[in-house]
A and B are shown apart, each in its own frame.
Chain A
Amino acid sequence: MTTVTQDIQPILKKYPNARRDSLITILQEVQDAQGYVSKESVIAIGQYLRLPASKVFGVATFYNQFRFHPTGRFHVQVCRGTACHVKGSLSLLDTVKKDLKILPGQTSRDRMFSLEVVACLGACGLSPVMCVNGEFFARMTPTRARKLLDGCRKEAVQS
């Protein structure tokens, strides 16, 4: 666990004499480097900026972009933007939640899947859209989503 905290020290060093206004940029950079914002990172950032952990956590949870669990091998994003909503992304998300047995923001116990809800992936013409590890999947339906996730599982077994 301590290694995680050490990992973010190079990031913190990039912000000498930083104050609370650097908090969000630091959080973003930490998430980019580690895939999520760990407990240890929140505490380390708080100590560095002289902010209580509750405050750092409060700011981080205010924004949808921050995750607090490590991402799974397959990071699944479901778009809940307006166009996708109109085209039925709610039932799509429901299907994915049930299939993966996790909620948005969570990672499955076997670290295979993590689920994230995004406000818009910028591909409204392909709605409803899902995205797995950066790859877009257009005009999704619950059936196609289940197939897609099964495909991921197969891929994991094969490799």
Chain B
Amino acid sequence: MNNLTSLSLKIGPYSLASRLIVGTGKYASLELMQQCHDASGSNCVTVAVRRERLVDKNSGRNILDFIDPKRYILLPNTAGCFSADEVVRVARLGREMLTGSGYRGADWVKLECLGDTKTLLPEPIGTLEALKVLVKDGFQVLVYCSDDVMLCKRLKEAGAAAIMPAGSPIGSGQGVLNPNAIRIILEELKQSDPGYPVIVDAGVGTASDAALAMELGIDGVLLNTAIAGARDPVAMAHAMRHATEAGRLACVAGRIPRKLYATASSPWEGRVTA
């Protein structure tokens, strides 16, 4: 079984039973985040690296206290980095934090190198530069990138453990804006390597966006705002779990071709006619 037919997802050193990776940001409370993680069925959550507060430290509450190390693998990200140097620095800090911490996830990273604060779109040159350094440094790198097939090929060649094209800008909820670009990326990256993981990261707004993305043949979905920002985040986490599974199953099952005209489901023969 490879990623094409298996219901679980193999990326770098890890095998994920759920193809949904969820974020930990923007929740009204850490308790709500925990409930949403539970409802999502995910085994993998992303976290960001930031300066520790020296005073007024949330009365000692750390986000890790709300993430069960037996249940979840942590995927540290380099969110908020705008250069290759910043990405490498933050990735190493994330690894150091997880080393010997009792949590899994020290050996991989979600590389995010952004171009500007308005679009939060990935900056391709810095992304590739940072990837090369991190690969040399022994990281398994999941690369957040734009849906440009040539860039995705270069990133794979440079040793990315997974390619994660944006469906649309981070937090925009616009879904997968260019499904054909994703199709071409899948074809190019998987033609001689069917198990190579391609994940849609960013832009998912609601369950149908996740299902549609999975139906295209991608290996997983990474999302945060769609759940954390929903009116009922726990219900949306349930919805995303089912949408990801439904989309995956539909992809494996193989949809019928689209046709312009009708095809009857009931037999013509034996109709009661005059």
**A and B interact:** no
Q: B residues touching A (Cβ–Cβ < 8 Å)?
A: none
Q: A residues touching B (Cβ–Cβ < 8 Å)?
A: none
